[in-house]
Structure 1
């Protein structure tokens, strides 16, 4: 990667890191404050779901605003709106008001991600986009870990101090983007595939994306509630949430590379079984600090790896022309799962106790294992043709731009191989012959256009008579 390209990417990455520090512990903070105010898990779940509703709406509509006003002004608008909603939450505690503020905050946050992703991924060609995406992920995860660790520090400053710190960080994140003298790129709007069409093309990808949304949203919004009710301090809760994100960061890539070498459906089955096993450990094992940290580390690795493996499996099945819209559609399916997760899981916690969170995780894992196993028996997965790209759920434009040349080439080759396999019965296989073929019998020659003749020419350059 050139120094010039790295300099272009530095400003959006720095802005993302600054905003991500505050946004990293905001969901945890809101859950803990509502619980301390005596609100039920159901109320906490609905307030938490408002953020994901905003994410889904923003993923569908924010690119139009970006096209109209440009990257830098759009970033300033979205980041300022994030700061305002957070500061307003610090002024008073009311679940109804917080629902509306979290909805607007989610809409604005996905707008920030949209600006940064499209900026980064249009700054370079396909040869460096993978590295730019890796830097994006590192910034996002590192900010999340640091933010969770700062939760206890800011909470000790006072009731409103954490909200003030998050608002200041959101405002400061505008500076790197506003101070760079560069014309920003533009993106094009593309409509995602409908859910019905997605289910027809890749039921496993749809279920994997939806299940990932259910699990990740529960981790961010309801796991802090569980940790507080089992007796951890605010500082300890932040540390445990940091361990979860660290597990996601360190285990996602090895799991993804493993899926490149094996049947992705089997990898998805094992991920579901792994999450079920971790949930059983949380319910049955005597938990101390180290056991809890180890289980949460592995839970983060399994839950956060589900989405990219499911998307990679969908890319294996996709026709080349549908990759972009399929990625966007799966992103919206993931956002829908995140939206309905807190309202679905919080009543279970209210009915059976705080451990209901892990009963829900276990039930989700068993359901995913059953569904993936059924799909594998109905339609075995092909050999992986789309290379795994470790990723977090992103905006719709980010999904559009992350579809690499390798993904398109892999899907095209897979489609071409299926066409060849269907045509095999119609081709007479040439048998070994001595001397020239009889005049009335066709002589079939298989050739590779990339193969070289002894004189340096490709077979594609030979005459039609030679090919016959």
Structure 2
């Protein structure tokens, strides 16, 4: 791990500072908007506008990488985000905030794709799992640190807007000053969705399911806690357990995925989640047991996304990874549309148990599909990139902190926001001649 950190620390440090800035502004706008008497509908538009920006960023980022390179794209988009963060307290109108959220979403979409394709390109087959596990851990640490910063400041002042701007400005300094190699300008190719599915049906289907689980897990956790008559503190503790589980298991799963068939790990995790969620759905559990369920759910769900990306990358060239990353982000966001909708309907029919029942059903479907695909094709001879949590999941995780405190949050995650997330992650496809001719699992 030390060797991996030594070669990737400039990028990881930059991502950490960016995630602190993103986490603060996402939560701060909900609180400040309440103090400014914005309506729930107005704040919903503000929060959803972030994903509209993702539409533009996901479409344009691969082309920008090919034209000017990773460092320039990272620095330019970071500068854009930093400037917008300073403008929030100067233009306190929900329409202006919505426009600025579009710009922020555009910037972070490009930065996510830039950072992840960079790591995929520079790591070796023996170190990608560890490097990209560290990347995911850095993302989560940034979110947690941002909430600590938020709690220490005054949401009605300027400091909480200025500090994230400074952190984002500092984020690209390590990359500009480091002497580590960067990917070449031409190391980006486009990849169509049809080709992506042909390369890895399991990766694509699994990514749709992962999006549904993520959006249900974060988007509906506070609703489930309220229906279960939990206190705000208990809901917050449950949400924290999701983070803890993800942090504890992410790196071990990444390390293991570099050494054995990834599909076996995915199947084992999916079967475990199915069993645990079945128990939580039908057996009354004390609160301490629910915290264990949350830790296991987070510890399975976060690495699952990474495993799906990694398995798909096993069949890709380095030049295809940026476009494939954008395509998988889209699939993850599209699946996120249905998480809150179906979970809300199930909880209306079956009560709080519908929360666990929905996610357990999705993992059961993934288990069955993984078994079927494993019977269709052998595992690849080599392994590729193991990547961390998706941008959609990262944004949902940041919003979840506000959902745990309904008295200050007038705008919980909505199905419309999840739909915007899916709509905002489209890339322009182009078939690549170097793709394998036969379908893979």
After TM superposition, the score normalised by the length of structure 2 is 0.66
Which deviations, in whole Å up to 9, do the C-alpha atoms of 1:253-306 show, x marking residues without a partner? 444637965682684375266167448638964664x44543332221121122
8 Å Cα contact 1:149/1:238 also seen in 2: no
Unaligned segments of structure 1, at least 5 residues: 396-410, 416-468
Do residues 205 (structure 1) and 203 (structure 2) align?
yes
Q: Distance in 2 between matches of 1:31 and 1:393?
A: 23
The one of 354, 357, 361 equivalent to 1:362 is 357
Equivalent residues in 2 for 1:297-336, closer than 5 Å: 297-314=295-312, 318=315, 325=320, 328-329=323-324, 331-336=326-331
Which deviations, in whole Å up to 9, do the C-alpha atoms of 1:416-448 show, x marking residues without a partner? xxxxxxxxxxxxxxxxxxxxxxxxxxxxxxxxx
8 Å Cα contact 1:20/1:140 also seen in 2: yes
Shift of 1:382: 4.4
8 Å Cα contact 1:51/1:106 also seen in 2: yes
Q: Distance in 2 between matches of 1:327 and 1:174?
A: 20
Shift of 1:151: 4.1
Do residues 338 (structure 1) and 337 (structure 2) align?
no
For the residue of structure 1 that corresponds to 2:333, the secondary structure is helix
For the residue of structure 2 that corresponds to 1:101, the secondary structure is helix
8 Å Cα contact 2:133/2:251 also seen in 1: no
For the residue of structure 1 that corresponds to 2:296, the secondary structure is helix
Do residues 391 (structure 1) and 387 (structure 2) align?
yes
For the residue of structure 2 that corresponds to 1:158, the secondary structure is coil
Q: Distance in 2 between matches of 1:379 and 1:181?
A: 43
The one of 132, 142, 155 equivalent to 1:158 is 155
Shift of 1:139: 2.8
Q: Distance in 2 between matches of 1:2 and 1:302?
A: 25
Shift of 1:206: 1.0
Counterpart of 2:145? 146
Evaluate the alpha carbon distance shift between residue 383 and residue 139 of structure 1 in structure 2; reply closer, same or farther with a 3 A threshold: same
Shift of 1:164: 4.0
Which deviations, in whole Å up to 9, do the C-alpha atoms of 1:53-93 show, x marking residues without a partner? 54454234213334444544433321232234444455677
8 Å Cα contact 2:73/2:114 also seen in 1: yes
Counterpart of 2:106? 107
Counterpart of 1:194? 192
8 Å Cα contact 1:150/1:238 also seen in 2: no
Q: Distance in 2 between matches of 1:133 and 1:259?
A: 11
For the residue of structure 1 that corresponds to 2:232, the secondary structure is coil
8 Å Cα contact 1:205/1:330 also seen in 2: no
Q: Distance in 1 between matches of 2:16 and 2:369?
A: 41
Evaluate the alpha carbon distance shift between residue 95 and residue 260 of structure 1 in structure 2; reply closer, same or farther with a 3 A threshold: farther
Equivalent residues in 2 for 1:80-119, closer than 5 Å: 80-90=79-89, 98-117=97-116
8 Å Cα contact 1:54/1:106 also seen in 2: yes
Q: Distance in 2 between matches of 1:56 and 1:336?
A: 13
8 Å Cα contact 1:274/1:302 also seen in 2: yes
Which deviations, in whole Å up to 9, do the C-alpha atoms of 1:182-217 show, x marking residues without a partner? 885434354443333433443322111122223334
Q: Distance in 2 between matches of 1:309 and 1:372?
A: 14
Counterpart of 1:373? 368
Q: Distance in 2 between matches of 1:212 and 1:273?
A: 15
Two-structure CA RMSD over aligned residues (Å): 4.8
Could you tell which deviates more after superposition, 276-285 or 6-15?
276-285
Counterpart of 2:395? none
Evaluate the alpha carbon distance shift between residue 134 and residue 308 of structure 1 in structure 2; reply closer, same or farther with a 3 A threshold: closer
Shift of 1:311: 3.5
Evaluate the alpha carbon distance shift between residue 81 and residue 336 of structure 1 in structure 2; reply closer, same or farther with a 3 A threshold: farther
8 Å Cα contact 1:212/1:337 also seen in 2: yes
Counterpart of 2:213? 215
Counterpart of 2:75? 76
Q: Distance in 1 between matches of 2:366 and 2:211?
A: 16
Evaluate the alpha carbon distance shift between residue 68 and residue 93 of structure 1 in structure 2; reply closer, same or farther with a 3 A threshold: same
8 Å Cα contact 1:253/1:390 also seen in 2: no
After TM superposition, the score normalised by the length of structure 1 is 0.63
Asked which structure has the greater RCO (Cα within 8 Å, sep 6+), the reply is 2
Unaligned segments of structure 2, at least 5 residues: 392-434
Q: Distance in 2 between matches of 1:375 and 1:118?
A: 26
Which deviations, in whole Å up to 9, do the C-alpha atoms of 1:160-192 show, x marking residues without a partner? 554444333222324434455788543435444
Q: Distance in 2 between matches of 1:250 and 1:226?
A: 24
For the residue of structure 2 that corresponds to 1:380, the secondary structure is helix
How many residues are aligned here?
388
8 Å Cα contact 1:144/1:245 also seen in 2: no
Evaluate the alpha carbon distance shift between residue 185 and residue 195 of structure 1 in structure 2; reply closer, same or farther with a 3 A threshold: closer
Which deviations, in whole Å up to 9, do the C-alpha atoms of 1:79-108 show, x marking residues without a partner? 232234444455677666554433322221
